[in-house]
Chains A and B, each alone.
Chain A
């Protein structure tokens, strides 16, 4: 076993002999952001790119997302990859509603972000018409590097998120705006 091993950086705090003091936000954020359980909601070619993202060559597991969760009830990050037909919309919303807080959403690729080339009656023009989205990854389809970059942007968001955010009036208003139960 040789090679460099990266260890997550400690949050800023007070350090002394035998103790380390920091904020709860920082510690929880550190833990959360390095142990994301993503739920792949893959409907087309972006899903194929995601398979390669999870495989040994690109290896998303290096960023703490070792375990994919194929049930919304045990996942933190909903990764929507591919064209979402309007008929699929209610399904996607139900999956989002079934996820436990805190939860994040990443829209991978042009179709999930904006409907892509499918400007037509049957395709949802971006999943943000149905559920709130935290990070958009452009591309048609995006390369695995881009998907990894999107996940790292999510990690930044998670690491900095206040523990009280999900109880705030602003967040409740956002959920009400999207009619999320």
Chain B
């Protein structure tokens, strides 16, 4: 059982970070906060260091690309876990694709190092202050960010897998 209710978390956000976030959970039990990029580090730092909350475990960082969302094309999603309270929340930040700068969380979570490298590798998010921001999974010679929507799923120029090769 969660000893920290969603209402308590919302209250904490309203008291401490009023105006810096939007609650976008919808019907989900998992709270979803869209936070301002320049406030991200401050908010996560509070959530980390607060005695009562203790969101000290970073479950996951992932990226997302919404090409139609002008000036908010690239998103970064953080899943935080409070081991003490067995509570989870999700934070999202959105940045323009032309300047995808997001502050790093490596100062708070050691695990953020590789996860941010992965998000950089696939979405090209520039984590400001990251100690070693380079590709982690793809080959170093790759120039594009393969999970962005403009990257074609398959090579359109190749003919060896075209229908006529299989009599279709």
Interchain CB contact under 8 A, B139 and A120: no
B154: chain A residues within 8 A (beta carbon):
119-120
Partner among A87, A119, A122 whose Cβ is within 8 Å of the Cβ of B146: A122
Interchain CB contact under 8 A, A120 and B138: no
Q: Which of B129-168 contact A (CB under 8 A)?
A: 137-139, 142, 146, 151, 153-155, 158, 160-161
CB-CB under 8 A for A86 and B161, given A120-B153, A121-B146, A122-B146? no
Interchain CB contact under 8 A, B160 and A122: no
Interchain CB contact under 8 A, A119 and B139: no
Contact of A53 with B by CB under 8 A = no
**Least Cβ distance of A32 to chain B in Å?**
33
Contact of A114 with B by CB under 8 A = yes
> In the assembly, what is the distance between CA of A130 and CA of B161, in Å?
20
**Least Cβ distance of A125 to chain B in Å?**
8
> In the assembly, what is the distance between CA of A119 and CA of B151, in Å?
13
Interchain CB contact under 8 A, A87 and B161: no
**Least Cβ distance of B140 to chain A in Å?**
9
- B contacts with A: majority SS: loop
- A contacts with B: majority SS: loop
> In the assembly, what is the distance between CA of A89 and CA of B139, in Å?
10
B155: chain A residues within 8 A (beta carbon):
119, 125
B139, B151, B154, B155 pick with most chain A CB within 10 angstroms: B139
**Least Cβ distance of B124 to chain A in Å?**
14
CB-CB under 8 A for A114 and B160, given A121-B146, A122-B138? yes
A86, A114, A121, A122 pick with most chain B CB within 10 angstroms: A121
Partner among B138, B151, B158 whose Cβ is within 8 Å of the Cβ of A87: B138
By beta carbon, the residue of chain B nearest A114 is B160
A113-128 interface code vs B (CB 8 A; 1 in, 0 out)? 0100001111001000
A122: chain B residues within 8 A (beta carbon):
137-138, 146
> In the assembly, what is the distance between CA of A114 and CA of B155, in Å?
13
> In the assembly, what is the distance between CA of A114 and CA of B139, in Å?
19
> In the assembly, what is the distance between CA of A176 and CA of B146, in Å?
31
Interchain CB contact under 8 A, B139 and A87: yes
CB-CB under 8 A for A86 and B160, given A119-B155, A121-B146, A121-B151? no
**Least Cβ distance of A115 to chain B in Å?**
9
A89: chain B residues within 8 A (beta carbon):
139
List A residues at the B interface (Cβ < 8 Å). 86-87, 89, 114, 119-122, 125
8 contacts between A and B (CB under 8 A): A86-B138, A87-B138, A119-B153, A119-B155, A120-B153, A121-B138, A121-B146, A121-B151
List B residues at the A interface (Cβ < 8 Å). 137-139, 142, 146, 151, 153-155, 158, 160-161
Q: What would 10 more interface pairs be, CB under 8 Å, given A119-B154, A119-B161, A122-B137?
A: A86-B139, A87-B138, A87-B139, A89-B139, A114-B161, A119-B153, A120-B153, A121-B142, A121-B146, A122-B146
